[in-house]
Amino acid sequence: MKVLTRTIWILSLISLFTDTASEMLYPVMPLYLESIGFSIVLIGILEGMAEATAGLSKGYFGKLSDHSGRRVPFVQLGYALSALSKPLMAAFAYPLWVFVVRTIDRLGKGLRTGARDAILSDEATPATKGKVFGFHRSMDTLGAVLGPLLALLYLQWHPGDYRMLFLIALAPGLIAIGCSLLLKDKKKAHIRSTERVSFFAFTGYWKSSPAVYRKLVSALLLFTLFNSSDVFLLLKAKDAGMTDAAVITLYIFYNLVFALAAFPLGILADKWGLKKILLAGLLLFAGVYAGMAANRNEVYVYYGLFFLYGLYAAATEGISKAWISNIADKKDTATAIGTFSGFQSICSMLASSLAGLTWFYFGAATTFIITSTVAVVSVVLLLRIPYVRSKPTV
């Protein structure tokens, strides 16, 4: 049986080009917003609202996808909204306009996430979930390497010309839209219902979901609640005296490790078990954050820590969704992943707020030690959860 099917390749290429466009703008977004008059507080509010929009909509649209029995329209519209919103960000320098466009971008992410991951799950077997999700994450993260590299190259010749960069980001976005048009829903549609789906209908899945799903997601959300934005890791490196270009290079290095390791670790996960690789990844995370707290601003140590951090990301991001998809019933796959992803986004938003407050009042070392400790607690909780290779029969 062919593991990497045509559909998996198409979805992976879509993610590659979309992430190239997004990550092209990631390093310069704060700089651009400040250049048009956004304060740090306003930037924080903007990103908080954006993440809340993405988080809540992931659960809703995942439920809607399962409810309608369709996947592809959600994927196509989701990627289209994200691609077209990027050049619109630079069209007008008005805060309200920027808020609206940024919300549209995140709404696109919410639209596509559950349906896309459900397609990946349907294209795989329980024995190949790690490889399929790992390959997709690898291609997606490759965009996080190419994007910042293109941004650095452009700004080297056109420093401060952020608006044009937003327009350039439209190109890979359009390629992603073109690739999405090659997708087709399989003829064997899920059972459709004529009932309307309320915005918070996905929360009802929590009660009806398998007990092992609730245990797994609870442990992962506890971890996420203290896993703050990567910006804090980059800020620690910046405080060590690294230049802006060096910090961006460090970020590219991390994503390169992530991209190269995700597929091989996915293959190992299929052989050794998704649970073992996920736990190993979380232990790596705990070690990285403990190292961040202990490091006395040695630059070479940061490269070692970011190397391990890339391995952690490769061992957890796709693997956690693969494990969840093995637990949920096939007809609820998008709802299960969408619900998890939605709550995960909300917890990530809270995590960054908690980390910022802890850093301000108690210092960076305390922030990293607390996060490392919670990661170990999450590992202990996950050890008690039985590993299921295939979906339970109903």
* 195-235: pLDDT as tens digits: 676 666 677 788 889 999 999 999 999 999 999 878 788 88
* 261-295: pLDDT as tens digits: 999 999 999 999 999 999 999 999 999 999 999 98
On whether residue 333 sits in a domain, the answer given is yes
As for how many domains the chain has, the answer is 1
On whether residue 241 sits in a domain, the answer given is yes
Cβ proximity of 25 and 159 under 8 Å: no
pLDDT recorded at residue 28: 74
Buried b (16+ CB within 10 A) or exposed e, 101-125: bbbbbbbbbbbbbbbbbbbbbebbe
pLDDT recorded at residue 111: 92
Dist CA 66 CA 329 (whole Å): 11
On whether residue 213 sits in a domain, the answer given is yes
On whether residue 187 sits in a domain, the answer given is no
pLDDT recorded at residue 392: 43
pLDDT recorded at residue 393: 39
Dist CA 218 CA 91 (whole Å): 41
Identify the burial level of 196 via C-beta atoms within 10 angstroms of its C-beta, where 0-12 means exposed, 13-18 middle and 19 or more buried: exposed
On whether residue 83 sits in a domain, the answer given is yes
Show Cβ contacts of residue 111 under 8 Å, excluding neighbours closer than 6 positions: 57, 61, 74, 77, 78, 81
> Which position has the token pair 């250049």?
35
The residue ranking higher by pLDDT, 251 or 132, is 132
Cα dist from 387 to 213, 216, 332, whole Å: 11, 10, 19
Dist CA 143 CA 106 (whole Å): 18
Dist CA 381 CA 387 (whole Å): 13
On whether residue 214 sits in a domain, the answer given is yes
On whether residue 190 sits in a domain, the answer given is no
Dist CA 51 CA 357 (whole Å): 19
* 310-369: pLDDT as tens digits: 999 999 988 999 999 999 888 888 889 888 988 888 888 788 888 888 888 898 899 999
The residue ranking higher by pLDDT, 53 or 145, is 145
* pLDDT band with cut points at 50, 70 and 90 for residue 193: low
Identify the burial level of 181 via C-beta atoms within 10 angstroms of its C-beta, where 0-12 means exposed, 13-18 middle and 19 or more buried: exposed
The answer to whether the pTM exceeds 0.75 is yes
Q: What are phi and psi of 213, to 5 degrees?
A: -65, -45
Show Cβ contacts of residue 341 under 8 Å, excluding neighbours closer than 6 positions: 55, 58, 59, 62, 113, 114, 117, 321
The residue ranking higher by pLDDT, 30 or 165, is 165
pLDDT recorded at residue 40: 56
Helix axes 72-89, 95-123, angle to 10 degrees: 150
* 87-113: pLDDT as tens digits: 888 777 777 888 888 889 889 998 999
Least trusted range by pLDDT, from 23-27, 77-81, 284-288, 372-376: 23-27
On whether residue 200 sits in a domain, the answer given is no
Kindly tell me if the per-residue pLDDT of 190 is higher than 70: no
For the chain, what is the mean pLDDT? 87
pLDDT recorded at residue 394: 37
Dist CA 79 CA 154 (whole Å): 24
Cα angle, residue 348 at apex, residues 255 and 151 outer, rounded to 5°: 35
Rg of the chain (C-alpha set): 20
Greatest Cα pair distance in the chain: 61
* 139-161: pLDDT as tens digits: 999 998 999 899 888 888 888 78
Range of the domain at 316: 6-182+205-383
Cβ proximity of 117 and 321 under 8 Å: yes
- What CATH number is associated with residue 379? 1.20.1250.20
* 72-88: pLDDT as tens digits: 999 999 999 999 998 88
Is the C-alpha dihedral spanning 246, 171, 179, 108 positive or negative? positive
